[in-house]
């Protein structure tokens, strides 16, 4: 009854005797134990050996104010937040390092929002902010408030009115009087 199975995209496996079992985020020994229990319903004293032959790459999506947004595949273990942002070219100057969001899908495809302060990682304040990502997580770096205002200004005023602003000043008041007299 040797079965060679692949973990499906939903994280489950199917064997000859077990039609659907969750295999994602479980250790080999946990899966071995659960398969042994499931096979015990059909077989007397089953001996199960779970061997991982290969692992699929982990896809992480990085979007928002980063150098190169996109999907990043990592072989083996999923990357941490700092590793994913480094692969995406880092956070742009317009990115808000205080509010980095992670969208993770849970059971029944329900989204869960996580938030972390990337600045705590950059300035070595809190190592726990560098969370381990899960397969198919979406990392989103929003704009800062100043970047949002600039975007609005650019879209609604600068493109249509193109205002120019001039500013001048004098450092030495005695030179200002002489300049005005001319």
Q: Provide the residue-wise pLDDT of the chain in tens; the chain has 182 residues.
A: 678 888 877 788 888 888 888 887 788 888 888 888 888 888 888 888 888 887 778 889 999 999 999 999 888 778 888 889 999 999 899 988 888 999 998 877 888 998 887 877 776 777 877 888 988 899 999 998 888 888 888 888 777 776 676 777 666 666 655 556 55
Domains and CATH numbers, the chain: 1-54 (3.30.1950.10), 58-143 (3.10.560.10)
Q: What is the pLDDT of residue 176?
A: 55
Q: What is the pLDDT of residue 36?
A: 87
Q: What is the pLDDT of residue 142?
A: 93
Q: What is the pLDDT of residue 118?
A: 81
Q: What is the pLDDT of residue 173?
A: 63
CB 59 within 8 A of CB 75: no
Q: What is the pLDDT of residue 171?
A: 67
CB 62 within 8 A of CB 88: yes
Q: What is the pLDDT of residue 94?
A: 92
| Structure tokens given for 127 | 């190592």
């Amino acid at each position: 009854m040797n079965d060679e199975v692949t973990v499906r995209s939903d994280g489950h496996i199917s064997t000859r005797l077990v039609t659907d079992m969750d295999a994602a985020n479980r250790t080999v020994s946990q899966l071995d134990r659960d398969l042994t229990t499931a096979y015990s319903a059909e077989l007397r004293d089953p001996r199960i050996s779970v061997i991982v032959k290969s692992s699929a790459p982990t896809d992480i999506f990085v979007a928002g104010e980063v150098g190169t947004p996109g999907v990043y595949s990592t072989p083996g273990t999923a990357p941490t937040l700092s590793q994913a942002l480094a692969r995406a070219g880092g956070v742009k100057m317009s990115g808000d390092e205080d509010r980095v969001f992670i969208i993770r899908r849970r059971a029944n495809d329900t989204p869960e929002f996580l938030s972390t302060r990337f600045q705590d990682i950059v300035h070595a304040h809190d190592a726990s902010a560098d969370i381990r990502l899960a397969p198919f997580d979406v990392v989103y770096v929003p704009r800062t408030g100043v970047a949002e205002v600039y975007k609005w200004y650019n879209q609604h005023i600068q493109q249509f009115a193109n205002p120019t602003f001039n500013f001048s000043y004098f450092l030495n008041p005695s030179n200002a009087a002489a300049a005005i007299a001319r």
